[in-house]
């Protein structure tokens, strides 16, 4: 029988750039294609983000400040976050703030307890 992977818990109030590949802020209730909001990237993961989505991230899509602002909203409202397999979202003031998780962070996903959105388990070493 294979040995189980170690499990780590991430408190969403401590979500950082290391966990996130891209962010999105847009109108709550609208699609998230970018027509009602903005996808944002950071230079450090720009190339990987382009690979993941299938085309390059343009210069005007790199928005370090907007990226960080979105993460701050999620951290500040962690208790209200919706946690999904590859992203977390907070709906606030008619907007949705989404952090799309880094693929290295998502690998080995073990699930999310229903309505226990403040923490989730993951296999990414070094995060506590």
pLDDT in tens, 29-70: 999 999 999 999 999 999 999 999 999 999 999 999 999 999
| pTM of the complete model beyond 0.85 | no
pLDDT of residue 103: 84
Render pLDDT for 80-125 as a digit per residue (tens, 0 to 9): 888 887 899 999 999 999 999 988 777 654 444 333 333 444 444 3
Beta-bridge partner residues of 23: 40, 99
Q: Beta 20-27 vs 87-92: how paired, if at all?
A: unpaired
């Amino acid at each position: 029988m294979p040995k189980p992977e170690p499990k780590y818990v991430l408190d969403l109030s401590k979500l950082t750039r290391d966990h996130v590949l891209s962010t999105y802020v847009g109108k709550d209730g609208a699609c998230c294609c970018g027509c009602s909001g903005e996808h944002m990237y950071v230079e450090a993961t720009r190339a990987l983000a382009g690979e993941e989505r299938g085309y390059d991230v343009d210069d005007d899509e790199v928005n370090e400040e907007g990226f960080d602002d979105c993460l701050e909203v999620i951290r500040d409202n962690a208790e209200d976050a919706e946690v999904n397999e590859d992203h977390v979202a907070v709906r606030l003031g008619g907007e949705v703030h989404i952090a799309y998780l880094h693929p290295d962070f998502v690998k080995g996903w073990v699930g999310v307890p229903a309505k226990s959105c403040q923490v989730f388990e993951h296999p990414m070493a070094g995060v506590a």
